[in-house]
């Protein structure tokens, strides 16, 4: 049986992967990777995501202004985002809230997040959400706002297990990355045992969220020689998480594929 793998969240456009990008795409095509959602994080990288999607039908583009970059937005950022979303099927993301970064401005983050969230809800587009140390506030906002009918992704979910039912009731999906295989993340990994199977997705978050050495089947380094995550590690992440959940890789891939289709199916090119 040929198992198809789906990466629900990465950043293939990132400069750290630039020297390897063509080789990565070629490798993925031969390793049963059917789709990957490539997320823009700021105005300057949206064109790169768009160009990658034009080159490969494997890539599902998503455009968003990440909370780390809200202060760098231009006066025309909204028009630019709407233009990118209008030129070809795409999702909204990566967007979110972050109280972890130094000197964060939460009111400014919320303003930017909510404008993008409302746009996605209006157009029924899937959203990829980043959240650090702001889970309670995120839940408050989402409860009172209109939501995209297709749902939204809490990528590399790092919130408490007690909040999973509340987010799921609003339409959330939860993606696990190989980073949670690191021993120091054992407590957070246990949280994913409480995610309903019909709400689970798998991601790499490449070039970030580097897995432990035993899951790095395809090592890469950025131009400065620093180890970075390769999207080709997605198959190893599937096998690891299937083992964690005491199921076969094929069974995991089957229900993840159904979940991926429900969330992203409306923007996947046939």
What pLDDT score does 269 carry? 86
- Among residues 211, 203, 232, the alpha carbon closest in space to that of 33 is found at 232
Q: pLDDT at position 3, please?
A: 83
Q: How confident is the model at residue 6, as a pLDDT?
A: 98
pTM score, whole prediction: 0.97
Residues with Cβ < 8 Å from 233, sequence gap 6 or more? 178, 204, 206, 211, 215, 216, 217, 218
User: CB within 8 A of 147, min separation 6: which ones?
Assistant: 121, 170, 171
- Domain ranges for the chain: 13-267
What homologous superfamily is domain 13-267 in, according to CATH? Metal-dependent hydrolases (3.20.20.140)
Give the per-residue pLDDT at 83. 98
pLDDT single digits (tens) 185-234: 999 999 999 999 999 999 999 999 999 999 999 999 988 999 999 999 99
Rounded distance between C-alpha atoms, residue 269 and residue 52, angstroms = 14
pLDDT of residue 193: 92
Low-confidence ranges of the chain (pLDDT < 50): none
Which pair of tokens denotes residue 249? 């890789």
> What pLDDT was estimated at residue 31?
82
Q: What is the reported pLDDT for 71?
A: 95
Q: What is the pLDDT of residue 52?
A: 97
């Amino acid at each position: 049986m040929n198992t198809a793998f789906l990466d629900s969240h990465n950043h293939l456009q990132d400069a750290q992967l630039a020297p390897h990008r063509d080789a990565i795409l070629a490798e993925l095509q031969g390793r049963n990777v059917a789709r990957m959602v490539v997320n823009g994080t700021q105005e300057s990288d949206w064109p790169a995501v768009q160009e990658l999607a034009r080159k490969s039908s494997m890539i599902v583009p998503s455009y968003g202004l990440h909370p780390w970059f809200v202060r760098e937005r231009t006066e025309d950022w909204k028009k630019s985002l709407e233009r990118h979303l209008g030129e070809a099927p795409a999702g909204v993301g990566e967007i979110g809230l972050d109280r972890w970064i130094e000197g964060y401005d939460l009111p400014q983050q919320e303003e930017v997040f909510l404008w993008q969230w409302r746009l996605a809800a209006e157009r029924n587009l899937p959203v990829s959400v980043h959240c650090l140390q702001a889970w309670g506030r995120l839940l408050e906002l989402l409860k009172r706002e209109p939501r995209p009918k297709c749902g939204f992704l809490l990528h590399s979910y790092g919130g408490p297990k007690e909040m999973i039912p509340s987010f799921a009731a609003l339409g959330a999906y939860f993606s696990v990355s190989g980073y949670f295989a690191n021993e120091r993340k054992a407590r957070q990994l246990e949280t994913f045992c409480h995610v309903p199977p019909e709400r689970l997705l798998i991601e790499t978050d490449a070039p970030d969220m580097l897995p432990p050495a035993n899951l790095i089947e395809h090592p890469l380094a950025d131009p400065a020689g620093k180890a970075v995550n390769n999207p080709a590690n997605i198959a190893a992440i599937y096998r690891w998480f299937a083992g964690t959940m005491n199921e076969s890789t094929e069974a995991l891939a089957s229900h993840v594929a159904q979940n991926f289709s429900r969330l992203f199916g409306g923007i996947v090119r046939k």
